[in-house]
Structure 1
Amino acid sequence: MFDNLSERLSQTLRNIGGRGRLTEDNIKDTLREVRMALLEADVALPVVKDFIGRVKERAIGTEVNKNLNPGQVFIKIVREELEAAMGEANVPLNLATQPPAVIMMAGLQGAGKTTSVGKLARHLKEKQKKKVMVVSADIYRPAAIKQLETLAQEVDVTFFPSSVDQDPIDIANGAIAQARKQFIDVVLVDTAGRLAVDEAMMDEIGRLHSAIKPIETLFVVDAMTGQDAANTAKAFNQALPLTGVILTKTDGDARGGAALSIRHITGKPIKFLGVGEKNDALEPFHPDRVASRILGMGDMLSLIEEVESKVDRQKAEKVAKKVMKSGKFSLEDFREQLQQMKNMGGMMGMLDKLPGMGAMKGQLQGQMDDKVTVRMEAIINSMTPHERQHPDLIKGSRKRRIAAGSGTQVQDVNKLLKQFTQMQKMMKKMKGGGMQKMLRQMGGKMPPGMFPGGGR
């Protein structure tokens, strides 16, 4: 998400970053570029006008901090205004009510509503330690009820059964009554979607809302519809008292216009981003972190949180100790590293969050992107356990067998073995105190503060 916008803005702001002073003329040129970048990202026109106006007003006549040059001050202003446009801070779910807290999900058909119910159920269960029940009040799509039941089993939360011959209000009230008996903390109500906003749909969802009085009413919208997402959210907001938005399919949207438009047009905060198909691919929306990513400054806080929640620490420590002690690193260890990386959204997902690494994504495309890591894992899976421990045995006929078993070419197997040999050499250098020595040598080539104390 935001790839196109990030590329354009980073280049534009890099040009002004070295200016000794800001004048109305050079600000005018830069703002024109920023305006074009936002419009190309499908940000709604009123949002672009307001954003540019605020940046211009703040930039002209700004008192410059002696530690920053004027170009840096301008970038700081752009970043702060991006945050303001998206809501400044993360707005968490409000669950402060007598249990069960009822959360109603609304949105158009195909926006990813049912999938988002499953993801949110998992998030509440794992991150907030809540007992969750899910229920489908979508009586027009029998497949939606079955889909939600499957998702509930996958994320291990309570499913309240419903059928197409029932009334949506009766279904929801039945679920809430059952939740009270079972001491459930949160009930997620999935509602019917339509292919477009229509009066009958709005009337039905309005009656359902009045009947169950949810503490949160979340609008689920597809990020790939761009500024249309913001307009649809506005229509729903006029019919329902929305409390927030879940923006789905952001992994497929390189523009990011919806994220920058929704808050301005509806006045409602984006609370979560759907960042993939898996049931753990839901992230709380932090405008400050997203603004950093848009400007190519990375998002270390999100990366650290991902490492803490998705990396198997025991496995990682076991490999690290083995390498430090013996300098040995097997293909089995390499496969585990690839799997851990995949859990964190792959190499490209990690690069997005590392400061200054956005520009490297293009260079690494096709060398170490997610398709390549999947292929590498398939090749290792095609080897015998003995071959993984002793890769020197892998010669002609074994290479052909491994290539055939993994659906790849012999040259792919050769490439993997070459990369692994290079990695093994590096691991041998880490034996004993070698890692500290290597980091000290790298310290001079790294940006200041990357390795504090030379060996951390």
Structure 2
Amino acid sequence: MVLSDLGRRINAAVSDLSRAPNLDEKAFDSMIKEICAALLSADVNVKLVGNLRKSIREQVKFKDLPPNTNNNTKRRLIQQAVFDHLTHLVDPHAEPYKPKKGKSNVIMFVGLQGAGKTTTCTKLARYYQTRGFKACLVCADTFRAGAYDQLKQNATKAKIPYYGSLTETDPAVVAAAGVARFRKEKFEIIIVDTSGRHQQEADLFAEMVQVQTAIKPDQTIMVLDGTIGQAVESQSTAFKQTADFGAIIITKTDGGAAGGGAISAVAATHTPIIFLGTGEHMMDLERFEPKAFISRLLGYGDMSGLIDHIQSITRDSAAMKETQKHLAEGIFTLRDMKEQITNIMKMGPLSKVAGMIPGLGGMMGGMSDADGTEKLKRMIYIYDSMTAKELESDGKILVEQPTRMTRIAHGSGTSVREVEELLTQHKVMAGIAKNMGQNKQNMQRAQKMMQGPNSKQQAAAMQKRLQSMGGAGRGMPGMGGDLSQMMQMMGQGGGGMPNMAQMQQMMSQMGGGGLGGLGNMFGGGGGGGRGRGR
């Protein structure tokens, strides 16, 4: 994935610093040098890198630290400084337009030829559609042959209404007609695709302004190809001066390009990135948030991104709604676990999922996406060989009647050992579900209290009540610590870099189930099954 090499190099530099026996200014300088070299090799602007180096040095001054400062405190200061300034690098501190329900939000796309605008238009329409907006597409690209057909094909596949013309050659006329039609039909998201153009093509730039004048968009989005390097900075500046776009989407981030040029474009135009295109499928569009992005880049995970991704997949799933109902009641059947695994497989490459979950990337132990997917498939084969009665059970019936496990193993082309491992994983996750049901009301009260004016005092009082009820000892793993700290780690309690010591402790506590249970799914076992013999 684009920027993945940058993330590995920066993460390695910070990790090497953490392992240094004597954390002095020399080790600190070595880390900064490696981070800057990684940024430069990723095509980030030289001036930006120089400013970053200077800022980190100014924030961490060894000579001002007390003589008795231990290495852990120094590491924490340095890690926070790196996190803060990398976040600042991709954060223009400008709020993008937020579409409102109940009104027509017109969004116009601009960008270079071949940047992936048409595909990204459909992805964005689908993104809003899955979140309850009434979305549609307008093809105002009358310059490129096949543009209308491409948009029509994408829109039909995604079941999104579209408008275009094979006879009208004036893009401003087509755009205005399409927007007027969809406004009349009360569509909430109207996305207008335009021709790809280059800063030296004056006629096309004038045409872009004409389209913008005709439809008066609420938001103009610049689509940037993540693979074209530092040239993107001058191109985006030219577009900004002409069309004054208010947001950026970076495409093709699933390739092997450096991608740092896109970061430079953010700094040059002071415009926020709102999404990253991560693949060719309609679901391969990730919401961009600076802190979460840098957190993933440094290997700290992105829980809010994971939750958003899961919700986009499961929002309309009847089976998932049934699972959520079960969880609220403290129930977790074998069918529920099958649904969870199926949704994990829908989320794309396992490396993408692992990057969002703190610690899971390491827990996969270098397993490839293909191997991880194969393991998940074998688990689905086991479920497919179960009867309806077995799937609706808690698994005890299989333990009490071992012949059922033998039958399932033979039917799925796996081994009895794999069936036993699956039941063990289910038992742990079922235990967590049971406790989640018991503690649901307590957690809801805690979250409400933490948002109030006396949040700290109320959270402390709630913590005492949970402890008196046994919640700290027998509640959901990872919930026995300070609630405010946990909420921060989950991205709901404030900014800053995640406390990695606390996060790692929470993940180890969750090692048997929940998100942490994914580590067990990929970690060991598997048995010597015969493979799928059907």
* Aligned residue among 113, 122, 129 for 2:117: 113
Q: How many residues align?
A: 434
Letter of the 1:108 partner, please give it: L
Does the 8 A contact of 1:142 with 1:163 survive in 2?
A: no
Q: Secondary structure at the match of 2:308?
A: helix
What CA RMSD, in Å, does the superposition of the two structures yield over aligned residues? Answer: 4.3
Q: Secondary structure at the match of 1:225?
A: coil
Does the 8 A contact of 1:111 with 1:221 survive in 2?
A: yes
* Aligned residue among 189, 204, 213 for 1:210: 213
Partner of 1:59: 60
Query: How far, CA to CA, are the matches of 1:428 and 1:381 in structure 2?
Result: 15
Q: Are 1:291 and 2:291 an aligned pair?
A: no
* Structure 1 residue 114 displacement after superposition: 0.9
Partner of 1:302: 305
Any residues of structure 2 matched to 1:132-281 within 5 Å, and which? 132-194=135-197, 198-253=201-256, 255-281=258-284
Query: How far, CA to CA, are the matches of 2:62 and 2:107 in structure 1?
Result: 47
Change (3 A) 1:433 1:337: closer
Does the 8 A contact of 2:104 with 2:190 survive in 1?
A: yes
TM-score (norm 2): 0.68
Q: Are 1:122 and 2:179 an aligned pair?
A: no
Query: How far, CA to CA, are the matches of 1:123 and 1:367 in structure 2?
Result: 27
Q: Secondary structure at the match of 1:345?
A: coil
Any residues of structure 2 matched to 1:96-107 within 5 Å, and which? 100-107=104-111
Q: Percent identity?
A: 28
Q: Are 1:422 and 2:417 an aligned pair?
A: no
Change (3 A) 1:183 1:429: closer
Change (3 A) 1:291 1:88: farther
Does the 8 A contact of 1:100 with 1:176 survive in 2?
A: no
Does the 8 A contact of 1:152 with 1:159 survive in 2?
A: yes
Query: How far, CA to CA, are the matches of 2:219 and 2:168 in structure 1?
Result: 27
Structure 1 unaligned regions, length at least 5: 400-412
Change (3 A) 1:194 1:164: farther
Partner of 1:73: 77
Deviates most, 27-36 or 229-238: 229-238
Q: Are 1:3 and 2:4 an aligned pair?
A: yes
Deviates most, 61-70 or 5-14: 61-70
Any residues of structure 2 matched to 1:33-44 within 5 Å, and which? 33-44=34-45
Partner of 1:448: 505
Query: How far, CA to CA, are the matches of 1:195 and 1:433 in structure 2?
Result: 55
Q: Secondary structure at the match of 2:173?
A: helix
* Structure 1 residue 298 displacement after superposition: 0.9
* Structure 1 residue 18 displacement after superposition: 5.6
Partner of 1:316: 323
* Structure 1 residue 172 displacement after superposition: 1.1
Letter of the 1:125 partner, please give it: Q
Does the 8 A contact of 2:140 with 2:192 survive in 1?
A: yes
Does the 8 A contact of 2:140 with 2:195 survive in 1?
A: yes
Does the 8 A contact of 2:251 with 2:278 survive in 1?
A: yes
Q: Secondary structure at the match of 1:448?
A: helix
Change (3 A) 1:431 1:250: closer
Any residues of structure 2 matched to 1:326-341 within 5 Å, and which? 329=334, 336-341=339-344
Deviates most, 199-208 or 34-43: 199-208
TM-score (norm 1): 0.78
Change (3 A) 1:433 1:268: closer
Query: How far, CA to CA, are the matches of 1:156 and 1:447 in structure 2?
Result: 42
Does the 8 A contact of 1:223 with 1:253 survive in 2?
A: no
Structure 2 unaligned regions, length at least 5: 392-403, 436-473, 481-502, 515-534
Does the 8 A contact of 2:87 with 2:290 survive in 1?
A: yes
